Amino acid sequence: MKIAIIGAGVAGLTAAYHLSALEHQVVLYEASGQTGGLASGFRDANWEWALERFYHHWFTSDNAIIDLIRQLGQEDKLFFRRPVTSIWYKGRIYPFDSYVRAMLFPHLSVIDKLRAAPVALYLRLLRDWPRLERYTAHEWLTRWMGRRGYQILWEPLLMGKFGEYYQEVNMAWFWARIHKRSPRLGYFVGGFQALLDILTEQVRKQGAEIRLHTPVERIETEALSIAPGEVASRLLVHAQGQVEAYDRVIVTLSPNLLAQMVPELPEDYLAGLRQLKSLGAVVLILALKQRLTEGHYWINLPKGEGFPFLALVEHTNFIEREHYGGDHLVYCGDYLKPDHEYFRLSHEEMLARFLPTLQRFNPAFTPDWVRASWLFREKYAQPVPGVNHSCNIPDLATPIRGLFWASMSQVYPWDRGTNYAVEMGREVARRALAV
């Protein structure tokens, strides 16, 4: 078959990898100038390794991406370490990446800790997650952990990640975060972009065509008369003034872009797409001349303490700075509604907002520590899963025969990430061939 894939992120590349291996004719359309989507990276002039535009790592339980790395013969480049993950509470940073450290946290009472420990164990062991999606994380955790334990440990995370939607997020999503996470985190030699380049090259070797700088404007159906009284259809892809026909089309973009791209989808289906809530991501990356924190890789920050971003990630407390020309690399990241002012402010204005806050992590910090900085923004980066969200997720097969949609909005209950993009790319390829 002749198959178009719209979007060369991890899901699109994975689908192309499996379909081209079966000798189907695959054309991959990508609006940007590189493959990888949200997992893609960039390289400064003096860096040996690329750095992700949005912070990334893997867990030891991320079997789909680990299996793909093995299939590509790159297992020797995958490694796992245990960096320090921490939380900020009342002006101090506390390591918070093990049960022992959680039990030593001084701002929880003995009763709070005795309630929190069995809840965490229950969520780690539970397999039947659908029962949890009937409840919001806010109400379930308050009930079983107690109000104080929830307000100190988890409410700041939910508020920071989901903003005004935080009380709508269901408990199954929270379960997935606890259930699958591991203290050891994975990375790839050369950065995620190095893996993406290897996958891209393999897709090309298998005969797929990748068209960069080629945004798709529209997808429509065309009826074909194949015999008296028999009508079939094919899909037409419009891109840069050209129209090309395909037997199957897989779209891996946001629900809003799918709705704009395929207006002939049924109105009830389009209405369902528009009801899917999501947040965007804004990340300011700083190359510093000096280390900012003492060994903390990831610090979750409560919005209630006046931080202008959700998380501070000091990448070079996880990966050696020698791979980045000696720079100390820090991400300042946040999830926000697409109409938030951070999506409009200039690079200089964002620096003015974020840099003063860094003195809270290190009083010695001054702006002249900053050698270089980069600002990245994406308006579709974090789906918001409400109560009984599984009832709202569209199937991979759209109502139009031969047209499929695979996005991070459908990886539920799991949080978005490259592991689940690989799972989805593999599954949508299988479904496309089964029609």
Rounded average pLDDT per 10-residue block, the chain, 435 residues: 98 98 98 96 97 96 97 98 93 86 84 87 92 96 92 88 93 92 95 98 98 97 65 86 96 96 95 94 98 95 90 97 98 96 98 97 97 97 95 95 96 92 97 92
| pLDDT computed for residue 226 by the predictor | 55
**Hey, what CATH class is 2-50+190-276+389-434 in?**
alpha beta
- pLDDT, residue 232, reads 63
What is the pLDDT, as a whole number, of residue 16?
98
Question: In 3-state terms, what secondary structure has residue 71?
Answer: helix
The residues, ordered by sequence, that sit 6+ positions from 130 with a Cβ below 8 Å of its Cβ are: 172, 390
**Closest listed residue to residue 232, CA positions, set 224, 244, 241:** 224
Q: Where are the domains of the chain?
A: 2-50+190-276+389-434, 98-178, 185-189+278-383
List, in order, residues 6 or more apart from 147 with CB less than 8 Å away: none
- The pLDDT assigned to 233 comes to 80
pTM for the predicted model, two decimal places: 0.94
Q: What is the pLDDT of residue 224?
A: 66
What's the CATH class of domain 185-189+278-383?
alpha beta
Q: Which residues is 113 bridged to in the sheet? A: none
Answer yes or no: are the C-beta atoms of 82 and 185 closer than 8 Å.
Answer: yes
pLDDT of residue 120: 87
Burial of 296 per CB tally in 10 Å (0-12, 13-18, 19+): buried
Pairwise CA distance, residues 144 & 232, whole Å: 56
237: how many CB neighbours lie within 10 A of its CB? 22
Is there a contact between 423 and 396 (Cβ–Cβ < 8 Å)? Answer: no
pLDDT at 225: 52
pLDDT of the residue at 228: 60
Structure tokens at 155: 């409410």
